[in-house]
Amino acid sequence: MLLLIAGLFALFLFLGQPVAFALGLAAIPVFIFTGTMPPAVAIQKMVATTQSFPLLAVPFFILAGNLMNVTGITDRLIGFARLLTGWMAGGLAQVSIVLSFMMGGISGSAVADAAMESRLLGPAMARQGYAAPVTAVILAFGSIITATIPPSIGLILFGFINEVSIGRLFLAGIVPGMLLTLTLMLAAWLVAKRRGYVPDLTEPPRFRDLWASFLDSVWALMFPVILIVGFRFGIFTATEAGAFLVVYALAVGVFVYRELTLARMREALESTVHDLGMIMLLIMMAGVLGYAITLERAPQQIAEAVAYLTADPVMVLALVTALLIVSGMFLEGAANILLVTPIVMPVLVEAGWDPIHMGILLVLLINLGGLTPPVGVIMFTVCGILNVKTGAYVRASAPFFLALAIFFMVLAAAPGLSTALPRLLM
């Protein structure tokens, strides 16, 4: 039955069905042919999956991020990032990576960040002589930083589906996010030096200019700080934080920058409805298929297979890593988190790995799949906007894949990078 489910899912994807529909249709055999559950249970499971208080964090954070994007905050963050790093080798490349770090607390989505930066920075990088494939790679790889910086939508979904504290996951992602930013900046610096890309600014900024830009961007930079303080002192849960940040974004747009018009408000609401519709449909269908897979004891069978192969925790993690990288090549990130992580998490916990540490590592690995062929969503988003061929993108990405491989090995070998902050503050 599990092979039939996998075969149907692959078939529906091959036929061009949306991932959400492929997930739901692949579960049909369990409910119709096994006799263990009536088909009505599938409908009930679709509805029941959405009835979750922690899941309310998703629409709140998406709306807050979209409101931030239409209030002029993005332009101010670009100016601040340019002053911080524009004087380095490969100045605009460094700007894009630092901007991804700062935008992680606003967009919460790697795909949204990659699309935004491709439109804003892509033409400017082309004018400064950056090869189009290199530009695509830098913008795509930088976007996965948003997978760790709160409020990451991926961490919210992971915490919801695996019953792990979302607040702790948010705190756990901050240090790895900083380390990932530095790793990608170093890779961009080496590539820029080798290709002779000049800095965007001729000299480092004066402190006065940097301070003025910081003050202009401080309302956006306070975004993740409010989350950390709120979680540390128990002021709100992740869901309540999302609701608070919607009000915060409205206040900044109306009373501080005064750029939130009715037309921009409508734009933010339309984007939120579009994003939320896609995510919620995936959640509902993944809930049905996940329930079907549970009925067929897939987690137990995979755990038994892994235990038969090895009992070494490092080898267990290596097997799961390989599985997630391969599945990430074919599935969109949210679908991967909802479908695959509930199956592999019991195996990892049984092997002795910390759930918080694994949450950060697994969500980053899943986003890594979005950077690779054949169905990397982030890759296709950036290449489509910048008109770059996939082959050229893959050839230009080698230094960054090497940098990420080193980063993942360090992160896997040092759980304290993820767990120290949650243990200290919560």
pLDDT in tens, 248-284: 888 888 888 888 888 888 888 888 888 777 777 777 7
Query: Across the chain, which distance is largest between two alpha carbons, in Å?
Result: 72
For residue 407, pLDDT over 90 is answered with yes
- Which pLDDT score is estimated for 108? 55
- The structure tokens listed for 411 are 């992160």
In sequence order, which ranges of 34-90 are alpha helices (DSSP H)?
40-50, 57-69, 73-85
Q: Are 181 and 390 in contact (CB under 8 A)?
A: no
Q: Are 328 and 336 in contact (CB under 8 A)?
A: yes
Q: Model confidence over 304-318: pLDDT tens digits?
A: 777 677 778 888 888
Percent of the chain with pLDDT over 70: 87
Supply angle C-alpha 45, 46, 50, rounded to 5: 105
For 380-395, what is the HEC assignment? HHHHHHHCCCHHHHHH
Q: Phi/psi at 395 (nearest 5 deg)?
A: -65, -35
- The structure tokens listed for 248 are 């915060």
For residue 105, pLDDT over 60 is answered with no
What does the alpha-carbon distance between residue 143 and residue 66 come to, in Å, rounded to a whole number? 16
What does the alpha-carbon distance between residue 92 and residue 239 come to, in Å, rounded to a whole number? 35
Of the two residues 96 and 108, the one the predictor is more confident about is 96
Per the listing, tokens 């082959």 go with 391
Instruction: Point out the least confidently predicted range of 150-164, 321-335, 378-392.
Output: 321-335
- Which pLDDT score is estimated for 180? 92
- The structure tokens listed for 176 are 């790895």
Angle between helical axes of 57-69 and 153-162 (0-180°, round to 10): 180
- Which pLDDT score is estimated for 274? 80
User: What count of other Cβ atoms lies within 10 Å of the Cβ of residue 143?
Assistant: 32
- Which pLDDT score is estimated for 78? 74
- Give Cα 323 distance to the centre of its chain: 18
* Among the listed residues 106, 59, 147, 98, the one whose alpha carbon sits nearest the alpha carbon of residue 328: 147
Per the listing, tokens 């988190």 go with 337
Helix, strand, coil content of the chain in percent (nearest 5): 80, 0, 20
Q: Model confidence over 348-364: pLDDT tens digits?
A: 888 888 999 999 998 88
- The structure tokens listed for 286 are 């993944």
